[in-house]
Amino acid sequence: MAPSPSSQLAAPRSDADVPAYWRALGLPGLADIHVHFLPEPMLAKVWAYFDQAQEHYGQPWPIHYRDDEATRIATLRALGVRAIPALAYPHKPGMAQWLNEWCAEFARRVEGAVHCATLFPEAGVGEQVERSLRQGARLFKMHVQVGGYSPDDPLLDPAWEALERAGKPVVLHAGSAPKEGAYTGPKAVAAVLDRYPRLTFVIAHLGMDEYDAFADLAEAFPRVHLDTTMAGTDFSNRFAPLPPAYVERLAGLGDRVVLGTDFPNIPHPYAHQLEALHRLGLGDDWMRKVLWHNGARLLGLEDADA
């Protein structure tokens, strides 16, 4: 499928431009599926890690929104993000349950928050996921590289069964960029989907940098989606640019591509993610689906058809 004609709209160049941009597209706001809120001590450790990005990634990664929680929430609301996820993920056994408790508490106290949860391959993970679902979790997060595990670890099978049955989306960071891990890449994800083909996976960062291999999964499995987090930005284009032929594939996957940003842990303004998507030149209808309709559908927002 060839890309649609480029929009006549001007791309947002600053955060102040963002609300006018989505309004000009006729949207009620933004449905961003990849936003992080964490317990403050954990967030401080994450930011300290990014402060050493030259060592970890070979280039600086300055946190653009290094603000307190209240300020970050207000920033998202001003941008027009209509539902606020709090994606969290463990890096060792025993962390998932207390992170899930924190995420449930965040959802209770923050108006418009998305009740999120996470999981880890450990004994009892199926029961943990079932508990989170009963409590109202509607978005899950996993990070293969940070967690150091394979998605097709047999310990996860009870969790996959529960999540497939519930139909809740799982934002899965399994691509090998910006840092490869022992279990990153599409092979193990494909193995899981072969066993649980109705799982609603949202592949973070478009599967950077194995873009085409993860697009293959989105084309082969009806509930696999791709989120845009940091893809096509000036920062990511330095080490994982989007090939032109892949951009054409994205045009045909318009119903499966979902806005994601990685707010607040990004080295650029929020507006730059929208600018990066705009300059792909895939047209206004594609942008409407990506910025609102697809994410609103996955998150169950009441006005998903607006």
pLDDT tens digit at each of 306 positions of the chain: 334 444 589 999 999 999 999 999 999 999 999 999 999 999 999 999 999 999 999 999 999 999 999 999 999 999 999 999 999 999 999 999 999 999 999 999 999 999 999 999 999 999 999 999 999 999 999 999 999 999 999 999 999 999 999 999 999 999 999 999 999 999 999 999 999 999 999 999 999 999 999 999 999 999 999 999 999 999 999 999 999 999 999 999 999 999 999 999 999 999 999 999 999 999 999 999 999 999 999 999 966 454
Q: Cis check for the bond before 264: say yes or no (omega within 30 of 0).
A: yes
Read off the pTM. 0.95
CB atoms within 10 A of CB 40: 10
User: For 259, how many CA atoms within 13 A lie in the half-sphere containing its CB?
Assistant: 35
Rounded CA-CA distance 45/49 in Å is: 6
How confident is the model at residue 8, as a pLDDT? Answer: 82
The torsion angles phi and psi of 65, rounded to 5 degrees, stand at -115, 60
How confident is the model at residue 168, as a pLDDT? Answer: 98
C-alpha distances (whole Å) from 162 to each of 125, 127, 206, 300 are 10, 9, 25, 18
